[in-house]
Chains A and B, each alone.
Chain A
Amino acid sequence: MHRRKTDIVTVTGLAALAIGAAAVTRLMNETRNRPPDSAPGRTARQSRFGAYIVAGRTVTIDAPRDRIHAMWREPEQLARFMQDLRAVERGPGDRMTWVIATPGGDARIETRLVEDRHGEALAWRSVEGSDFDIEAKVQLRDAPAGRGTEVEAHVAWRPHWGMAGQWAAKLRRADPRTRGRHELKRLKMLLETGEIATNANQRNT
């Protein structure tokens, strides 16, 4: 009697497992082999960018494209909305060194400007020897219905210390994804209102 019951339990358990496994395989087949859709690649459920993590965000800013472009080309302007940016040093040619405060101390990222189409796109790529292996790109498009400009920024970076490091950074909100999102929103505030919102009641907090 007792044994029979166990058998039934085992059999049902195995059957359930089999059904579960079949469902997972079906789901995997369903997500693979699909014709591409219109969404940006970084929003894919399963995406692989090799050793890189890719993140991006689009905001609509009520300002003309060339004005937004200019903000990204001026180190003084960058410092206004990139809060962790300690300094930007211009190097020879199109080289720039960005000094960024990170939880692990200041990081120096030397970049080349790899794309600069006025009012359309800008991209930077870190050079050998930088503290981070990173590429960042900003694209500008007219927003519909006179709403201004759609600003799309994306970053691809090779995480330090693997996935664990990535999670640690995320917890401290110091990962490029969070920073990038915050910076875009600050840029929007600056351009649309002339200031960056803060709940601080004192100037030096």
Chain B
Amino acid sequence: MRALTWHGRHDVRVENAPDPEIVNPRDAIIEVTSTAICGSDLHLYDGVIPGVAKGDILGHEFMGRVVETGPKSTLQKGQRVVVPFTISCGSCFFCKASLYSACDNSNPVEKQDASEMLYGHAMSGLFGYSHLTGGYPGGQAEYVRVPFSDVGPIVVPDGVPDEQVLFLSDILPTGWMAAENCDIEPGDTVAVWGCGPVGLFAVQSALLMGAGKVIAIDHYPHRLDLARKLGAEVIDFKQTHVLEALMEMSGGLGPDAVIDAVGMESHGFAPDNLLDSAKQRFGMGADSAHALRMALMAVRKGGRVSVPGVYGGMADKFPLGALMEKGLQIRTGQTHVQRYTKELMHRIMEGEIDTTFLISHRLPLEEAARGYRNFHDQQNEWTKVVLTP
């Protein structure tokens, strides 16, 4: 089959790879019909996530048709499914508590050692990501082996176009969980850093959950425009002092809740950010936590902090004092996708959530490398890339 593989910083290629087979009884093989490039893939593309190996197949947002099933799979050949990027067994302590990205049984045991060392505990397996999360071959490929296919994939009725449901695999549940983690009360003001796909879905979700005002922050005019169209007020951090503006726009109180939908590769020329990026470049394992620092400073006393943005290691100059003194609550994590797929599928069908507005480019899988380059270099116009094998 053809698949997009990682070869190093800013080097991804579409190559031949062996077709996947059923390995475990609960597996299914999916023939991919649509797959997307995610902001998380950009962290791999930039080489700032540890544990990615040459030749790894990337991609964790995908859907397709079932072509083969193991004896314990509950799927049927021919069914169309969207596959969550979190691989979860469905029966461990964590899965039973709906903490799917913390599944104990999906990350191969040999892969758990390094993450235990780095994080204290190993997290679930993820498709097409790091070997810390299992090193599972991903979905930017013609075929994917899907473990625990009786738990994760959600069946899509015929007649519903791929693009309407593809984002159930990650970014829609991620934006939704980001907003849910804000415990929004009616009328709350919520500030969202980052108007990428995750930030945009967080804006939409926060409004659906009853936020009175959502303020979205970025520096790309087109992305800010998409946020505005969803109903957000916007701040361009290249033209405005973000902290000052947020205070003024929230009655001098500060936002009730803040969402960091930027993660470890924050943009901008703030001194802390430049230092972080330099260290990151030299492999010093530092996360660029500029957006999170700002969020912690901006949020009102006793406010809620939600962090869907991905971090992989350590951060310096972290405003711990603000976190403690202001009595903040902080919630984060790789999304527990399986917790949300059913409900969100329903909301899509009901027309409550628009999922297609952010797709800017559609490319054949063969041109995936170009997709990566532009999604990375031309973020203003390239807001989401969908690939078709």
Determine how close the nearest CB of chain B comes to the CB of A165; give it in whole angstroms: 20
- Choose one: A173, A189, A195, A199; the contact of B135 (CB below 8 Å): A199
User: Given contacts A62-B91, A147-B93, are A203 and B109 in contact (CB under 8 A)?
Assistant: no
B50 within 8 A of A: no
CA distance A177 to B106 in the complex (A): 22
Contact B109 A185 (CB under 8 A): yes
For A178, the closest partner residue in chain B by CB is B113
Within 8 A of A (CB), among B18-42: 18, 20-26
Say yes or no: A202-B21 contact (C-beta < 8 A), given A192-B91, A194-B26. yes
Q: Flag if B93 contacts A185 (CB, 8 Å).
A: no
B125 within 8 A of A: yes
A161-186 vs B, CB cutoff 8 Å, 1 = contact: the mask equals 00000000000010000100110011
- Tell me the nearest residue of chain A to B135, going by C-beta: A199
Q: Is the CB of A199 within 8 A of B105?
A: no
Whether the Cβ atoms of B23 and A62 lie closer than 8 Å is: no
Instruction: Give the docked Cα–Cα distance between A181 and B147 (Å).
Output: 23
Number of A-B pairs, beta carbon distance below 8 Å: 77
Q: Known: A147-B93, A173-B110, A185-B112. Contact between A197 and B20, CB under 8 A?
A: no
Q: Is A6 an interface residue (CB 8 A)?
A: no
**Interface assignment of B173: CB less than 8 Å from any CB of chain A:** no
Q: A182-B110, A199-B134 are in contact. List 12 more A-B contacts (CB 8 A).
A: A60-B93, A62-B92, A62-B93, A173-B113, A182-B109, A188-B104, A192-B91, A197-B105, A198-B24, A199-B108, A201-B20, A201-B145
Q: Which residues of B come within 8 Å of A, CB atoms?
A: 17-18, 20-26, 72, 87, 89-93, 104-113, 125, 134-137, 145, 147-148
Q: What are the 5 A-B residue pairs with the smallest beta carbon separation, nearest first?
A: A201-B20, A195-B24, A185-B109, A182-B109, A193-B89
Q: A: which residues have CB within 8 A of B?
A: 60, 62, 147, 173, 178, 181-182, 185-186, 188-189, 192-203
